[in-house]
């Protein structure tokens, strides 16, 4: 699912949801998947529409629209040392953020479908939770093969 060690971040610290989004999406910028304004796009969209990207209790999929700075398709997994509230009644608090960038709607949907399949596997979720270092998280995620 991921090819670069920088796309696996374990036990990061954040005090507010905005900081969690910034930490989670930071590697998308570093790896050249998005421009710096992409993070602000996620924050602005969240303020306008709410945390629309919380897909399950404790799990968020922060992303912005392609025109808000996506350059290439990318995925970054980040776990938080302490879960954070995003203001989502059913999904708070969030402990796992999977930041994605997609250059078009088709790729966006494909990525979400692949992630949804993975996230339905409770053993996989438990393994993510138990990863205490970036290296452990990377080993787990790099062993997962994305379709197509």
Residue 108 is among the residues annotated as catalytic for this protein: no
Positive or negative torsion for Cα 64, 65, 69, 70: positive
Sheet holding 94-101, edge to edge: 8-12, 74-84, 94-101, 59-60, 54-56
**What's the distance, Cα to Cα, between the start and end of the chain in Å?**
11
Phi/psi class of residue 12: alpha, beta or left (left: φ > 0; alpha: ψ in -120 to 50)? Answer: beta
Task: In whole angstroms, give the CA distance from residue 100 to residue 62.
Answer: 7
Q: Specify the residue for token string 């979400």.
A: 112
Q: Which of 13, 33, 63, 108 is catalytic?
A: 63
Catalytic (active-site) positions: 63
């Amino acid at each position: 699912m991921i090819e670069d060690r920088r796309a696996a971040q374990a036990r990061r610290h954040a005090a507010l949801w905005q900081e969690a989004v910034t930490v989670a999406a930071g590697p998308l910028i570093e790896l050249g998947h998005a421009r710096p304004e992409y993070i602000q796009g996620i924050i602005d969209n969240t303020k306008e529409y709410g945390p629309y990207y919380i897909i399950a209790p404790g799990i968020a999929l922060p992303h912005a629209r392609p025109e808000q700075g996506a350059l290439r398709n990318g995925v970054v997994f980040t776990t938080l040392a302490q879960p954070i509230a995003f203001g989502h009644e059913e999904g708070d608090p969030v402990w796992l953020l999977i930041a994605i960038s997609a250059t078009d709607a088709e790729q966006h949907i494909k990525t979400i479908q692949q992630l949804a399949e993975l996230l339905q596997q409770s053993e996989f979720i438990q393994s993510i939770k138990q990863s205490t270092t970036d290296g452990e998280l990377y080993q787990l995620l790099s062993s997962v093969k994305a379709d197509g």
